[in-house]
Amino acid sequence: MKSKLLLFLLGINCLASAQSALQRVITDFAADPALKYAGVSISVIDAKTGKWVAGHRASQGLAPASSLKVLTTATALAVLGDDYTFRTDLQYDGEIDSEGVLNGNLYLRGSGDPTYGSDQMEGAANLEGAMARLRLALQQRGVRRITGYIIADASCFDTEVSSPTWHWIDMGNYYGAGAWGLNIHENLYHLHFRQTAKVGDTPGIALIEPDMPDLVFNNEVTSAGENTGDNAYIYGAPYTYERYLRGTIPAGRGTFAIKGSMPDAPMFAARYLDQQLRSVGIVSAKGPTTLLELSRKGFKPVVRQTLYTHYSPPLSAIIKRTNIQSVNLYCEAMLRAVGLSRQQEGSANAGMKTTLEFWKNQGIDTEGVFLEDGCGLSAHNAVPACSLRRFCTKYTTTPSGTRSSTTRCPWRAERRTKGNVQGHSRRRPPAC
């Protein structure tokens, strides 16, 4: 008995010694002269017991950057469910007559799917594949002509597609793309420069993929050394088509591409669909537009019928790419989908409100947590290290290896009950 007690006390002393050593390392790190003017917030706990181990200014709120994606994606899993799928519907109003004339309008209605038309997301149909399915749906229905518009309907989300606190340097670039109710091709385009061999010269624009003829570029980019990499930025805001190009790209004799954010993803979707339908002889008399534009002119909603429905990969797969590749658009779409689910409002504000309310209901103290977006791009977000630690470790296993009844996985407690969707079976929630 004495030997067992001695061994137990030795274990406690070793643990205390290790804890003290870790605290010294953290203290020394925070005192490094290189961090004299930096904000440092550190919180370390034992993942099994939940007990505090070491830290430094753990309650100080700092901009979490992309670490915020952990909070947004965890909330989305809990609220929507890991097998949740976004849907994109091809719809029409009016009637299709015996001669193949659609006497009405054609609609592409989104639900915020950030993977629609993506060539980066595994399991998603790329832009050409997505359009081919829409063409086929119309051809199978015998449609040869449309008397009305081709309308992109992004109305499930509001029109504030990006945070008002995002920086000007970010919004025109692919990682600052807005999140619409109808997204396509990850809301980005590739801008190809024709490189110059001479440093200081301005490289011309060779190609835009996919083509966006309304974009106007003020090109101030110059050529730098051959091994300098991509230091070029695109400046511009949502719904505006004038862009400023600044910075540098490497000198050379080929082409060099950067990625920009689409000014109006729903409008691009309508125009691209119109082009694809015209290529097989299906012509819209009034051409492409968006429901937003028509609504401003007094257009009233009418009853529609659905021709075809496209389903996204399951949310669990979308979240995997979101967190591994740090995809801002995916997070912003999830944030709005969460708001729509719980607040009946597809907005970032509703999503942020839902996020904080959900974690409060799980017993997490969210005081000191200030949200401005879902992806962390805004410098106005503020999350203390102790709060981020609580979000990450609220649901864990007990020391005995069994899940505590007081720390039930939120994906089991909060997720909606759903059946199979378009071949996607219900999936086991990820380990919490």
User: pLDDT tens digit string along 308-343?
Assistant: 999 999 999 999 999 999 999 999 999 999 999 999
* pLDDT score at 47: 78
**Whether 290 contacts 159, CB under 8 Å:** no
Question: In the predicted model, what is the mean pLDDT of residues 201-213?
Answer: 96
* pLDDT score at 45: 87
**Whether 192 contacts 206, CB under 8 Å:** yes
* pLDDT score at 401: 35
Q: Does 213 or 219 have the greater pLDDT score?
A: 219
Q: Is the pLDDT of residue 378 over 50?
A: yes
Q: Is 108 helix (H, G, I), strand (E, B) or coil?
A: strand
Q: Is 271 helix (H, G, I), strand (E, B) or coil?
A: helix
Cis peptide before 210 (omega within 30 of 0): yes
**Whether 40 contacts 61, CB under 8 Å:** no
**Average pLDDT for the chain:** 88
Quick one: how many helices (H) and strands (E) in the chain?
11, 20
Q: Name, in order, each residue with C-beta under 8 angstroms of 178's C-beta and a sequence gap of 6 or more.
A: 161, 162, 171, 187, 238, 261, 265, 332
Which residue has 């919490």 as its token pair? 432
* pLDDT score at 15: 58
Which band of pLDDT confidence, cut at 50, 70 and 90, is reported for residue 3? very low
Q: What percent of the chain has pLDDT over 90?
A: 80
CATH architecture of 85-313: 3-Layer(bba) Sandwich (3.50)
pLDDT tens-digit readout, 70-115: 999 999 999 999 999 999 999 999 999 999 999 999 999 999 999 9
* pLDDT score at 149: 98
Query: What's the CA gap between 283 and 19, in Å, rounded?
Result: 72
pTM, to two decimals: 0.87
* pLDDT score at 14: 54
Query: What's the CA gap between 110 and 89, in Å, rounded?
Result: 7
* pLDDT score at 411: 38
* pLDDT score at 13: 53
* pLDDT score at 391: 86
Closest CA to 408 of 369, 363, 355, 365: 363
For the chain, give every domain's residue range: 63-82+316-413, 85-313
Query: What's the CA gap between 432 and 414, in Å, rounded?
Result: 13
Q: Is the pLDDT of residue 408 over 90?
A: no
48-52, 123-127, 218-222 — which is least confidently predicted? 48-52
**Whether 394 contacts 362, CB under 8 Å:** yes
Question: In the predicted model, what is the mean pLDDT of residues 209-226?
Answer: 95
Q: Is the pLDDT of residue 422 over 80?
A: no
Which band of pLDDT confidence, cut at 50, 70 and 90, is reported for residue 40? very high
Question: In the predicted model, what is the mean pLDDT of residues 184-201?
Answer: 97
Structure token pair of residue 265 = 């993803």
Question: For the chain, how big is the Rg over CA atoms in Å?
Answer: 26
CATH 3.40.710.10 fits 63-82+316-413, yes or no: yes
Which band of pLDDT confidence, cut at 50, 70 and 90, is reported for residue 9? very low
Which band of pLDDT confidence, cut at 50, 70 and 90, is reported for residue 120? very high
Q: Is the pLDDT of residue 181 over 70?
A: yes
